[in-house]
Amino acid sequence: MTTISDIARLAGVSKTAVSKVINGHADIGEATRRKIMNIMAELNYRPSVLARGLTLGKSWLIAVCLFPDQAHMSGRAHNLESRFYGPIINSCNDYLSQRDYDLLVLSSNPTTRENAGVWYRDKLQERRVDGYILISHVSQLAALATLNEVQIPRMCLGIKMPGFRSAYIESNNYRGAHQGVQYLHTLGHRRIALIGDTNSSMSGRHRMQGALQAVREYGLTIPDGAITYGDFSRHAGSDAMKSMAEIIRSERVTVVFAFNDYMAFGAIDAAHELGMSVPGDISVMGFDDVELAADFHPALTTIRQNTAVMGEIIGESLIKLIEDSQFEPPEVMVDTTLVIRSSVSPA
């Protein structure tokens, strides 16, 4: 593998001269500059990130730390396959690669899973990672404490964890749910049912608060028993729907608002099984806008989390945190978007 010394020797100059050309310093003659450039191009020379990182104390590495909550794996696996985190990480990577940072995927393996916190901490340290994305859940706060021992900027997703240069980003779940209910009201729905989050996740709570607030504002009615809870999985949505079927009929509920798409899918499954058509007999609204939502039958009306925007903001914020010590770790709220499709019809 070609090194900077090779280039220097072939060009008949010092390593310093080559280094200056590489880094675009001005104090180098045009003639030597061109000569060096040519030789580098000819040999396809690429400076070693390891070596330059060693002196500069940087790795140009951003890690993704996926820290699953075993109990809640069902609806949203915390790995690259996740329908929610996958798109975010992707768009973040697109941004980062434009800024010459690369993405390292840290996913604690089965054997290290017990003390994954330690494993992640060590990895971050060993690799001199410049910043990381922490994807986890409130229930993991204790297990993650060790991460605070290493002082690296981070963006938290799904868990707001205080610490060194620790930023946080989430969708405006409150507003999103509020917006959803408002839309239902606009369509003339007056009696609604909700499917919330069994596990008291931050996002689940905010969606509930936003929805309930809108229900009050617009004077809607939620009959007794028309709020059920699920674990964000499709089955849970189906179960929830079945358990509310009787109330929906007797109380003339016209729409079910599930707090994520998968539970909405499940609710629709159940409706069909129960001989109800969607949205003919009952409308169903989701939350997230996962890929499948558009392809579902009926296509799901839902509240979109803008994953592309989130990914970009994450990348941008991380780089600012890394490169500008004055930059304060932000707490970002990303607006959601109402996506009107066909699972909700006028009341």
What is the closest distance, in whole angstroms, from the C-beta atom of residue 46 to its own copies in the complex?
4
Residue carrying structure tokens 């010092």: 14
Per CB under 7 A, 277 contacts DNA: no
State whether the Cα torsion 111-117-118-119 is positive or negative. Answer: positive
Comparison of 17 and 181: residue with beta carbon closer to DNA: 17
Q: Which residue number, 27 or 324, has a Cβ lying nearer to DNA?
A: 27
Q: What residues line the site for its own copies (CB under 8 A)?
A: 1, 44, 46-51, 53-54, 59, 79-81, 83, 86-87, 89-90, 93-95, 97-98, 102-112, 122-123, 125-128, 149, 234, 265, 269, 272, 291-292, 295, 297
Q: Provide the 8-state DSSP code for 78.
A: S
Collapsed DSSP state (helix, strand, coil) of residue 59: coil
Distance CA 318, CA 322 (A): 6
The H or E element containing residue 258 is strand 255-258
From the list 4-12, 89-97, 114-122, 202-210, the region that binds DNA by CB under 7 A is: 4-12
110: cis peptide before it, omega within 30°? no
Q: Looking at 24, 30, 324, 325, which residue binds DNA (CB under 7 A)?
A: 30
In the list DNA, its own copies, none, the entry touching 142 (Cβ below 5 to 8 angstroms by class) is none
Question: Which DSSP string do the residues of 155-179 spell out, in sequence order?
Answer: EEES-----TTEEEEEE-HHHHHHH
In terms of Cβ atoms closer than 10 Å to its own Cβ (0-12, 13-18, 19+), residue 319 is buried
Of 86 and 330, which has the nearer Cβ to its own copies?
A: 86
Q: Which is nearer to DNA, 50 or 142 (CB)?
A: 50
Which among 158, 88, 168, 154 is positioned nearest to 124, based on CA atoms?
Answer: 154
Report, in Å, the least distance between residue 29 CB and DNA. 2
Q: Establish if 227 lies at the interface with DNA (CB under 7 A).
A: no
Question: With contact defined as beta carbons under 8 Å apart, do 109 and 115 qualify?
Answer: no
The token pair that represents 49 in the structure block: 């990130």
At its nearest, how many Å lie between its own copies and the CB of residue 150?
9
Phi-psi bin for 139: left (phi > 0), alpha (psi -120 to 50), beta? alpha
Piece of 17-25, 76-84, 227-235, 299-307 that binds DNA (CB under 7 A): 17-25
Q: Does 32 bind DNA (CB under 7 A)?
A: yes
Q: Does 5 bind DNA (CB under 7 A)?
A: yes
Cβ proximity to its own copies: between 53 and 223 the closer is 53
Question: Per CB under 7 A, does 24 bind DNA?
Answer: no
Binding site for DNA (CB under 7 A): 1-5, 12-17, 19-20, 22-23, 26-33, 46-48, 50-52, 54-57
